[in-house]
Structure 1
């Protein structure tokens, strides 16, 4: 009886999700969540129910997920070390491939040392909670990733938010922070929903004025911005403008895991105090091997970064010229704003009829009036693919009356 009453308390929450999905995905043609796509290793095309589509919402920015060198890196680690590590890193789980990967992460980011976590989410949560606690103040951008917000909550520190990409508001927030305790400011380099870039030089100045550390999540910046894909510091002309850099190994780098790069003493502290690092199994060797190989390819082939930047700018210009709303995007991430959640699903369904997949992002991930398709340009897309996608997005937008005069 007790168990039954407990379930009765949970059921309304379960039912709320079910009703929401039923409204948005009312028939199979509108399904967008948890779709098992059949991928083509050497192209950006996927298959669903026997139909072939151009995928325009995947995150393999550099087009390396099927690259033979990356596959060979995973195979070599698999053959040498097997399918998994033998425990957590502090005990029996550390392997030479982990140390190689961490050294490559540090070198690529121009830092003294690096640490690799099981995911980018774990890297954010673990790093923030290891650095901050009660009595400290963390100030985050309003649009920061959920993993940053969760890490702040776990830390027990006081949390304040500042308006998106607004250094003046950050200054006000830091002025009101207690004089004692650590002050940590956290931003994304590239915001995954809007595709815009944090104003790093201005943020750095504000942090210096208030003795605050600056932590930047490069999840959507590594391999995407900067002349050679080294992220936000390179984008703004170089120099050590960031105190703590971290990111993922699952986007431009087509593997799994997260990374942190910084001074050696910081990394040593995280090894012993970041709970996801200390209490989670080590990254599987094939994943580490694939990530290591991909970082080396990126270092050797910066043309991939430049191609993505050029094609993203071309697609964005084509869409903007026709009147599509792409907000403040200036990177490979291009939001196509539809309006309501229902409108975003309508738009995604129309795009699929034109042979292109653009996946909807709806509330609460974005404001309920700014639901959109989140588009990502990759080095796997040819110029012809970009043209085809642009034509499909505009044709579908006309059908859904998303263009001026529509």
Structure 2
């Protein structure tokens, strides 16, 4: 079989996705994915195609992207260590700054030690794959992030799903598993598309009853929930703890990388078994320096967290009272659920014309019929900017007949 014949099996899939994109983005003004935005350093505005627009779908929850202190820390790291690392962490890739960042992550999250990966995705895949294998069972919330799902599937363990945020369903699922094997339950602390929070106390009780491990992904909870932004355990007044906590350095923290925290003995084992850690290049110095300074600022300035929490609650209330469906959001992540993929693209396009960026999320990232704009309220947004965004979102919703006049 020649190469062109082999490609014929793939071609229908390529044609189908490109046709779907063309149906949604049939003119330049409707382009809403993979757009290059030029951010302003000291505001929430971005420039695209010559227009100055208010970004309302970015991840920078505590408003530190572009902060001069973070920029200077990144520059200082480059000045001292260069632009890259000469290998993987196990060989020549570790620099003192990596260990300094790991100590800061552990301190901030209230654990003995931490390990920093090249991405949050790698942290999930590597951790799940190291913990479980053939003969074990991994139980996933129906809405877990793709990195958790991929790690579970690649591990070779049996993968079972339970209904979203439903401890009773998890209880029934665990009852059917082998108690003489590793059972790992994995949930997001805050769900990235819905903004709701995992019921940690109830999940902990179920896992304890069945002797299962509980792992939480703090990607969208660090800097977002808890009185000082320390995540789901602080949100529940530190009454219960997860067995394993992972997270990212690219959401609230304006850098790259992922992390896992735990005791030193466990992490010494994990760094030799987590393949994405062992075989990936070490995190670059600039990213390490930026992440380290960001965590220190967050520790000193918890008011950033409370400001974003208060403004997101106000935003949710106003949008809900106006007739928009914000789902079960309890956090800075606020979905504006509009139904079909076409509705989401129409709505995003109308919002952009009104001066605001609200980015659409469609299937398969969300279930059919639940396409949405994924909005994120951050500490960098001023009250006036949020008011402007509310007016733009509601004006666009009326234009798209999503709510009444």
TM-score range relative to shorter protein: over 0.9
Distance 2:85 2:69 in 1: 22
TM score, norm. by length of structure 1: 0.99
How many residues end up aligned between the 2 structures? 405
Deviation at 1:178, TM superposition (A): 1.4
- The equivalent residue for 1:63 is 63
The 5 Å alignment of 1:125-140 reads 125-140=125-140
Deviation at 1:11, TM superposition (A): 1.0
Distance 1:151 1:371 in 2: 26
Distance 2:88 2:81 in 1: 15
Given the alignment of the two structures, is residue 106 of structure 1 paired with residue 103 of structure 2, yes or no? no
Distance 1:3 1:138 in 2: 39
Distance 1:17 1:242 in 2: 39
- The equivalent residue for 1:11 is 11
SS in 1 for 2:9: helix
Deviation at 1:114, TM superposition (A): 0.2
SS in 1 for 2:58: coil
Q: C-alpha deviations, 1:149-184, integer Å up to 9, x for none?
A: 000011101110100000000000000111221011
Stretches of structure 1 that go unaligned for 5 or more consecutive residues are none
Distance 1:327 1:263 in 2: 37
SS in 2 for 1:54: strand
Distance 1:302 1:386 in 2: 20
Query: Does the Cα contact within 8 Å between 2:224 and 2:252 map onto a contact in 1?
Result: yes
- The equivalent residue for 1:309 is 309
Q: C-alpha deviations, 1:68-102, integer Å up to 9, x for none?
A: 11111101110000000110000000000000000
- The equivalent residue for 2:402 is 402
Given the alignment of the two structures, is residue 23 of structure 1 paired with residue 15 of structure 2, yes or no? no
Distance 1:179 1:229 in 2: 35
Distance 2:227 2:211 in 1: 30
The 5 Å alignment of 1:186-197 reads 186-197=186-197
Distance 1:170 1:264 in 2: 30
Q: C-alpha deviations, 1:351-387, integer Å up to 9, x for none?
A: 0111000000000000110000000001110000110
Query: Does the Cα contact within 8 Å between 2:246 and 2:258 map onto a contact in 1?
Result: yes
Distance 2:9 2:190 in 1: 40
- The equivalent residue for 1:279 is 279
Distance 1:368 1:28 in 2: 25
- The equivalent residue for 2:353 is 353
The 5 Å alignment of 1:172-321 reads 172-321=172-321
Deviation at 1:240, TM superposition (A): 4.8
SS in 2 for 1:348: helix
Distance 2:149 2:40 in 1: 35
- The equivalent residue for 1:344 is 344
Deviation at 1:238, TM superposition (A): 1.0
TM score, norm. by length of structure 2: 0.99
- The equivalent residue for 1:150 is 150
Stretches of structure 2 that go unaligned for 5 or more consecutive residues are none
Identify which range, 240-249 or 205-214, moves more after superposition: 240-249
Distance 2:208 2:265 in 1: 21
- The equivalent residue for 1:390 is 390
Deviation at 1:206, TM superposition (A): 0.3
SS in 2 for 1:59: coil
SS in 2 for 1:127: helix
Deviation at 1:266, TM superposition (A): 1.7
Q: C-alpha deviations, 1:89-142, integer Å up to 9, x for none?
A: 000000000000001011100001100000000000000001100111110100
SS in 2 for 1:9: coil
The 5 Å alignment of 1:50-129 reads 50-129=50-129
Q: C-alpha deviations, 1:30-64, integer Å up to 9, x for none?
A: 00111010110110000111110000000011110
Measured on the aligned residues, the alpha-carbon RMSD in Å equals 0.8
